[in-house]
Amino acid sequence: MPYHFALPPILRRHGGEWLPAAKTWQVPTSSLKAALQELASAPGLRVEVEDRHPITDKIMQATRAQPDDSQLYEKLPKKLAENLMPFQRAGVQFGLQRGGRVLIGDEMGLGKTVQAVALLACYRAEWPALIITPSSLRGPSSIFSLRPLKNISALLSEQWADALHSWLGITDQHIHIVHTSADCRFRARQPKFVITSYNFLGKLKEDIETRDYRIVVVDESHYIKDWKAQRSKDTVPVLQRADRAILLTGTPALSRPKELFNQISALLPTANLKMKDYGERYCSGGNSRFDKYCGASNHEELYRLLTSTIMVRRLKQQVLKQLPAKRRQQVFLRLDAGGQQQLNALSKQLEAGREAIAKAEGADDGGGGAMGSLKAEERKVIMEFYVASAEAKVKTVQDYVVDMLENDQKFLIFAHHKCLLNGIEAAVRTKFRFALLIRLAMTGS
């Protein structure tokens, strides 16, 4: 409603709060009737009341029915609690107030993972937990380095496994990661966390029903935007059965409000939402003959509804003062079996060559020609190792690039070897018809 001098004092008397971002007043439902009566009697002020749409009532009622678990915030480990930034603490508290059923839609780089880990810590009594991610974010993964040689094929944790270990001290034996179909069979184990991709969720159906996971985390939850997709059919029922459902995405809806429907339905199963009702209210106005819900309507109302019920979303510019100067993150990608074997073989060859050089140096027999030959062979193996590592990474890097493209993220890729550049180009062409790759030639001074 337009500004009137009588508005602020009346609404504040009834518990109203001004929301600058939405440019609207929020009044508790219990005080709304009294506030409207006072507004109607104010001189020079005309008030028109529009009834809430049934879909809005369903979402609000289902949210109010969730328990308030704010007291569980005390369960956070001291290290984790001290390292949370203020807006991250607010996100965790928002999730607890809604019984652990929340969509954390913060912009990329604002620490959605650590907020989810904090919620997992608060609900520690309800473990084991199921974590569903895109295929490139599970872990552990193999990475290769020439120094130190003994760790050339060391197993390192990726984002989720690493976060669980760093913040909660969860060790490898308590984390089961599904990389292949064989990993879906682990009845003898009782891990505290099972990390799987959307692709393997269907094959875990029996395990999910047997273990009855009470806590489910879905990373990049916009992947379930299409209700016709198999991963949505596998994921949404699991979320609806769980007591706690934590959805994470930097882009809750990539382009249209209809992409939010599955996520809302997954968080609020008791609302019994119908796409027809939701679509008529928030997805009308499209001009497609094949999709009557391709439009967007009442989008400001939808945003206010979601941020007051199930979704917390902050942009970098809103929390800039709370952020450190710069944040860096490493993402380790898993190599396939063929690439792993190829690099293992080269690493053994390189290690044998270096042992031969060390023995020759220890003997010190003045055989300069033999030593030079050994070092030349070492350099040759190192160059072969670099090329082989690029070839081995092609498929894994392609998968990661496709994930980033589906996530509509802006990113830069730097690569050196032609085989890897060609692989990246092929991955980009799966989404775009034309791709421009700039090859830079670098020379030493």
Task: Tell me how far apart the alpha carbons of residues 316 and 382 are, in angstroms, rounded to a whole number.
Answer: 43
Host H or E run for residue 219:
strand 215-219
Asked whether the whole model's pTM tops 0.85, one would answer no
pLDDT in single tens digits along all 445 residues of the chain: 456 677 888 888 888 888 675 567 777 777 878 888 888 888 777 777 666 788 988 999 999 999 999 999 999 999 899 999 999 999 999 999 999 999 999 988 888 999 999 999 999 999 999 999 987 555 443 333 332 323 222 233 367 888 898 899 998 889 988 877 777 777 767 889 999 989 888 888 888 888 889 999 999 999 999 888 899 999 999 999 999 999 999 888 877 899 999 999 999 999 999 999 999 899 888 777 788 888 888 888 899 899 989 999 998 887 777 766 666 666 666 666 777 777 777 777 777 767 766 666 666 555 556 656 656 766 776 777 777 778 878 887 888 888 777 766 677 788 888 888 888 888 887 777 665 666 555 544 3
Residue 59: what pLDDT? 92
Residue 236: what pLDDT? 94
* Residue from 281, 315, 355, 300 nearest 53 by CA: 281
312: β partners? 104
E strands, 290-392, are 311-312
175: β partners? 193
Token pair, residue 246, equals 């934590």
